[in-house]
Structure 1
Amino acid sequence: MSSRPHLARDKIPPGDIELHDNYVPGLQAGDYSIEVTHDLLTGTGSGAPSIIDGGKFHATQQFTVRGPQISIDPGAVLAKQPADSSSGQFDKVLPHVVLGDPMLPWERTMAAAENGTPWLALLVLTEDQLVGATTDRTRTINATVQDFLAKDSSVLKPALSREPDIATDSPCCYIQVTTDAFRAVTPRLTEAQYLTHARGANTADRPILGIAEDGLFSVVVASRFPTAGDAATGTKNIVHLVSLEGHEKILVDNPNFGEHKWVALLSLCSWSFWCHSEPKGDFRELAEALACLPNSATRAPAEQMWLRLSSPYPDNSNSTAPQRQVARRLNDGFVPLPYSTRSGESTYAWYRGPFTPVVAAATPQAVTATSADALIGYDPAWGSFDVSLASAFEMGRALAVSDSAFAQNLMALKRAARGVVDNLYQQYVSTHLPADGGSSSAVAAFGAMLNGNLMSTLGKAPARPSKAWTPPAPAAPPPDQHAALAGFLDSPQTRAALQSAIGQPPLSEHLAPIAAWLGQRILLYGVPFTQLVPQEAILPVESLRFFHLDWNWLNALVSGALSIGSQSSRDGVQDRIVGDYVRVSATQNALAHRDESRGVAAHRPRGSVNAAAAQTVSGLLLRSAIVSGWPNLAVRGYDPAGGHLPILRMDHLSPNVLLCLFEGIPSRVELRQPQEGFRFGVDDEGYIPLRNLLPSTDPNGLRLGDTFPDDLKFSVFDNVRSGLGYRVLDLTRLVPNLESALADAHKRSVAPVGPADLALQMVRVPEAIGFEGPDRS
């Protein structure tokens, strides 16, 4: 989903939000007509004009605005809070859902409702309040539209006018609730507007999930606090995003259900969670566990937060030499894997992927290698192999061969580059043309002749030659043609000429898609997860691990991709020259990929890439229920000065694994609940702190959204519907009482309090956890 342009979207700093009462579209869903009439008038002077055309110039155009009615796109739901299938102490928070389309809750009109009244509501229910579908996790009934709208003496159906583009056999989902539950938990028609609002947020610190990366969202909040059970079992709460359309007549204090026992509601989205009386599996508990030893409340030392296996041996004098060798290898991020040599012997080899706990020393062979065997390392002291870079080379080659478009572009670039080199070499060895670089072509030589006194020479009588003419003898071939060609290819003039040609058509047309493809491989798109994390024990469940990015591994990966189609030593030399330019272009694409994918300005111009600085990349892998529970989890890296480090990649590798790459090495990393999905709720006693609603010019000196001093609070639990046994907000009482409390705090009236104002007062500050090394690195 995406939102239409919003002027303030790029001005919102990461971590800040804008709150809006609503985002009502210019035209809501429905049938419309445009009528145009053109009258011709007659009359002059002071006489009254009269119509002379008889209404003949008249036209009417019918058109329809369609909006979702029976279902919504599953991708429209960006976040659910509390998270689906989660367990925790949620009895003081109001569940809510974040939608990627900022206009969705207001795209349909409600009969007899004020403008700005949403057609959606979020209901929190328990199992005893739902009827039917006992085997479904959220008690949702699947049916066709025809079956749903069919009359039923026991079930009150919505008075819904089906839109023409919805077939009677279209599938839909609905729930049946008891009339008592409907009366208790459903918001009144006049209350619904306070439970829905729009937000503007900057999502530069979030994974790219196909959402509007910097824009508006809509939020629908429930009016009921979840029901909590005991600490051991808890209570299952079921949440449904329902359509209120067609039920306007019973969205009142004392609805008339007639003889019906149940009410049917279209369900557009649903999930469930378990609510306990004590914390269990909420964000804070999950986040704090990331910094602890497995299955323990003991804080893990910093060295155990790196992406590597734990060594069974200490690297000190108490260990034997082989044990110390194993400890050093494991501490450097290697893992032992089975390995079969070319001769058929079975042994083991060390392997390390691109994520390392240490800064790897530069390996120039990773750039110049033309085969995987050239990158196999062997330690004769211990008789062990290192296949890390060889595996990277083979992976790059496999990825390149499997992508026909890349292979075709690469072969076309190599053929075009070979043609350029052939022309340059012919000019170099030719005895007929000057080789001074300024006129080293037949066209240039002929032009130089035309620039001379050609006409005066043609007007003279031809002179007889004084001696017999003989053609110039061809130059003798070099004694070692292979060495001569290699020396020519490696010369600075050839390198400069070839790299200049690559940056211009037609070679640049082939280079662009190659550099873009390799840029994504540098960011490890398409690389299997087993190549990144070869053993599960390196990244256990509920863990966070940090790493450096090994550019030797990436260089080997690129070398493998560029090696396809090379057939001779000349190809190898030429590929190395072309590859230097391709690698720079690929790095530029890698640095700009995330910004371009998000549609924002690149954090640095492409031409300003410094190879050494660009290759300082670090990152983290997070494997936790936090990833699945908070899919828009914010991750921020800070430099020592407190500035934000650019994020090169942040993606979900699986539902519970998040990868994040930073340009640079952060001194501090924060995991934070997304600001567009923060929670609403109260403290343990049912109070909320009052926040300033006036701009910074207020005499109190508070900024917009700051809490008032002196601990000014408002009791939310004093404004719930009475006689129900569970807590549902009575917004007809809560809003006026909140206006009065805010007026006392501001010492002036701030009425009316709208949906955005209520959201600001009810918000609970997003939780975050920070990780900082002892040396801030």
Structure 2
Amino acid sequence: MPDALPDALPDALPDDIVLIDSRTPALASGDYRLTVDQTISLDGSPASITKTFTVAGERLALPPSGVRAVYPPDGATGDYTQTLPHVVLAEPTLPWQRQPGAGTTGPWLLVLLFAGDERPEPHVVQAGTLGLTLEGAEKSADPVTVIDVPRSLLTSLLPAAADLPYLAHVRSGDGSDAAVVIGNRLPPAGQPCVAHLVSVEGRLRNGTLVPGPADQPVRLVSLANWRFTVLDADHSFAARVRDLAAGSGPFRLPATGDPAADAFLSRGLVPVRHRLRGGGATVSWYRGPFACGPVGGGPLAADPRPVVRSADGLLRYFKAEGMLDIGYAAAWQLGRLLALRDDGVATALHTWKRRRDRPAGAGGNYPLDVPAAVSPPPAVVGWLADLATLTRVPFTYLIPDERLLPPESIRFVDVDAEWIRCLVDGAYSIGRITRADAERDAASEPPVGTPRLTGALIRSSVVSGYPGLLIDGYDAGGAALRVARRETMSPNVLLVLFEGVLARLDLHQRPEDQHFAVEPAGPGRLTRSLRGPNGEALGTGDPVPLGASGTVPVARLAAGMARVLNIPSGFGAAAFARQMLETGERVTFLTP
């Protein structure tokens, strides 16, 4: 049984990434009038010219490319109870292009989190109904997505004036720069949540919501929104991946208690229905390309290589049991059928073989000194190379019985190189009609190698819940293995194959799944572990009380960090974000 081990967490922020408190544009978005006066000394006549222009910035809507990432991921389910939601924006100056209101410093964009019955329903209105002064190319008929939030609820969710500057920063160094806007509320457990990126342009005065009728909701422009569901800690990424270890085992069917049958099952063979050429039906043994240990030898591994003209030549018969093993025969026939299904490959392969065989058929009477077509066309070689990594092989040939891969399990497998050779030879057999054709094919084997492949099959909700899941493989010496193939076979089944012998498998989240998290510090209180420049632990910040709606007093939390870190001044949004960043979790499996 493989072990699931937690990996040591590195510093949350790579050295080549820089966080910046803010990036104010040279000109804020809006309409401008430029007047130039000139007085000519010759006659004293003044001259004046006025031009108007607009600095256009996103205001009432964002294009799809404007949002680079959100966290928690849209549609995700997991343990996010200690996570502040955030959005990454492609335009690094966007949060500071406008003002939240008079006497208020900070971004004009906020991430507001709504849970359960609080969730407002977005709807579309015309820009002219919002009571805004439209700018530049904005039209009163432009569609705008808005949400209506009860004033009392909005007041309880809005960050304090001192919190605002900490809720947005710029991320630089890992590609084009981006702005990050962080929410100030922790998602409650066991509830569906929705986060909205809203505009508060002109809605705040001295850091608080502009007064209005208490019984009327406040209409906010929503530039983006995403939904997720919060579960308890048992449903976190790490917990769900570690649960795979509990369901681990060899890639074979369970024993039956019958020694004769178990001898076959222990080698990974599966009983399958078999329709014979004569029309009869029987039960035969089958094993696909995956085995629960190294597999050596095989009919095509012999030297000299045998001539195979049909799949029947690869059937193996167990006389004592009176049963056939059809695994290699099925692989050969499948390869042939896959090649025939691809008209381009079948035609190119057949044409090449006719050119290859023409000099041999003419003997010494071939009139032209034309070099023989030694290798198949590159397109055919590439197709065969893909086939050797099991590309295009149907799911049922790989996993013939679902009991081989139970729900919420991981299985480590060795790839049977002989099964791959039979598969490729079946495809290569196009145009192999006579015995002479077969002998010439045997003399010029397909230029496709069969390196040692090992890997893992995962059947879990983790596959669908984390579509960007990263998987790394290492050999016994710790060297990274090259991925030969990775494919999501079904919504919850993932296959990954490596070149070499897999000894350790790491599953971890994407770098963009870095998020901003806090830690509990007793009932109703929270804190954050602090790190030095090299990732060294520096204790925890001063605990702060959690707001009634789960809001975090960000400015107080930052002040407690600054005190512990002995930074009396200059502890801004970037320093706060660096301490709040949490790396994507990583779980390590050791193969049996």
TM-score by length of 1: 0.61
Structure number with the bigger relative contact order (C-alpha 8 A, sep ≥ 6) is 2
User: Please, what is the CA RMSD of the aligned residues?
Assistant: 4.3
Question: In the alignment, is the contact (CA less than 8 A) between 1:29 and 1:108 conserved in 2?
Answer: no
CA displacement, residues 349-382 of structure 1 (integer Å, 9 cap, x when unaligned): 2121211112222224387533222222222221
SS state of the match for residue 98, structure 2?
Answer: coil
Question: In the alignment, is the contact (CA less than 8 A) between 1:108 and 1:118 conserved in 2?
Answer: yes
Question: In the alignment, is the contact (CA less than 8 A) between 1:110 and 1:248 conserved in 2?
Answer: no
Q: Distance in 2 between matches of 1:572 and 1:559?
A: 11
Q: Distance in 1 between matches of 2:437 and 2:134?
A: 71
Which of residues 270, 288, 306 is equivalent to 2:242? 288
Which of residues 259, 274, 278 is equivalent to 1:324? 259
Counterpart residue number, 1:316 = none
Written as runs of structure 1 = structure 2, the 5 A alignment for 1:254-333 is 254-256=208-210, 258-259=212-213, 260-266=216-222, 268-276=224-232, 279-293=233-247, 305-313=249-257, 323-333=258-268
Which of residues 131, 141, 144 is equivalent to 2:122? 141
Shift of the 515–430 alpha-carbon distance from structure 1 to 2, 3 Å rule, reads: closer
Counterpart residue number, 1:768 = 586
Q: Distance in 2 between matches of 1:251 and 1:399?
A: 69
Counterpart residue number, 2:453 = 617
SS state of the match for residue 418, structure 2?
Answer: helix
SS state of the match for residue 564, structure 1?
Answer: coil
Shift of the 332–285 alpha-carbon distance from structure 1 to 2, 3 Å rule, reads: same
Written as runs of structure 1 = structure 2, the 5 A alignment for 1:361-380 is 361-365=296-300, 368-380=307-319
Written as runs of structure 1 = structure 2, the 5 A alignment for 1:108-123 is 110-112=97-99, 121-123=110-112
Residue 311 (structure 1) shift: 1.4
CA displacement, residues 455-505 of structure 1 (integer Å, 9 cap, x when unaligned): xxxxxxxxxxxxxxxxxxxxxxxxxxxxxxxxxxxxxxxxxx75xx446xx
Counterpart residue number, 1:568 = 434
Counterpart residue number, 2:188 = 227
Residue 324 (structure 1) shift: 2.0
Residue 713 (structure 1) shift: 1.5
SS state of the match for residue 631, structure 1?
Answer: coil
Question: In the alignment, is the contact (CA less than 8 A) between 2:267 and 2:292 conserved in 1?
Answer: yes
Deviates more, 1:328-337 or 1:571-580: 571-580
* Stretches of structure 2 lacking an aligned partner (at least 5 in a row): 1-9, 33-41, 43-50
Question: In the alignment, is the contact (CA less than 8 A) between 1:411 and 1:565 conserved in 2?
Answer: yes
Counterpart residue number, 2:154 = 182
Residue 167 (structure 1) shift: 11
Counterpart residue number, 1:238 = 193
Paired residue type of 2:530? L
Q: Distance in 2 between matches of 1:334 and 1:224?
A: 54
Q: Distance in 2 between matches of 1:632 and 1:740?
A: 38
Counterpart residue number, 1:81 = 72
Q: Distance in 1 between matches of 2:378 and 2:137?
A: 47
Q: Distance in 2 between matches of 1:729 and 1:248?
A: 23
Which of residues 731, 751, 757 is equivalent to 2:554? 731
Which of residues 290, 293, 296 is equivalent to 1:355? 290
Q: Distance in 2 between matches of 1:648 and 1:26?
A: 46
SS state of the match for residue 271, structure 1?
Answer: strand
Residue 683 (structure 1) shift: 2.6
* Stretches of structure 1 lacking an aligned partner (at least 5 in a row): 1-11, 34-49, 51-59, 132-139, 202-213, 229-233, 294-303, 314-322, 434-440, 444-496, 585-610, 694-703
Counterpart residue number, 2:81 = 91
CA displacement, residues 42-84 of structure 1 (integer Å, 9 cap, x when unaligned): xxxxxxxx9xxxxxxxxx9x99989796355499666643784
Counterpart residue number, 1:555 = 421
Counterpart residue number, 2:482 = 646
Question: In the alignment, is the contact (CA less than 8 A) between 2:520 and 2:527 conserved in 1?
Answer: yes
Question: In the alignment, is the contact (CA less than 8 A) between 1:362 and 1:552 conserved in 2?
Answer: yes
Q: Distance in 2 between matches of 1:373 and 1:161?
A: 77
Paired residue type of 2:188? T
Counterpart residue number, 2:498 = 662
CA displacement, residues 610-649 of structure 1 (integer Å, 9 cap, x when unaligned): x6xxx21110111222222322223222222222222222
Question: In the alignment, is the contact (CA less than 8 A) between 2:78 and 2:230 conserved in 1?
Answer: yes
Paired residue type of 1:663? E
TM-score by length of 2: 0.79
Counterpart residue number, 1:526 = 392
Counterpart residue number, 1:124 = 113
SS state of the match for residue 729, structure 1?
Answer: coil
Q: Distance in 1 between matches of 2:100 and 2:146?
A: 23
Paired residue type of 1:395? L
Larger Rg: 1
Shift of the 15–407 alpha-carbon distance from structure 1 to 2, 3 Å rule, reads: farther
Larger relative strand fraction: 2
Deviates more, 1:682-691 or 1:78-87: 78-87
Is the counterpart of residue 397 in structure 1 residue 336 in structure 2?
yes
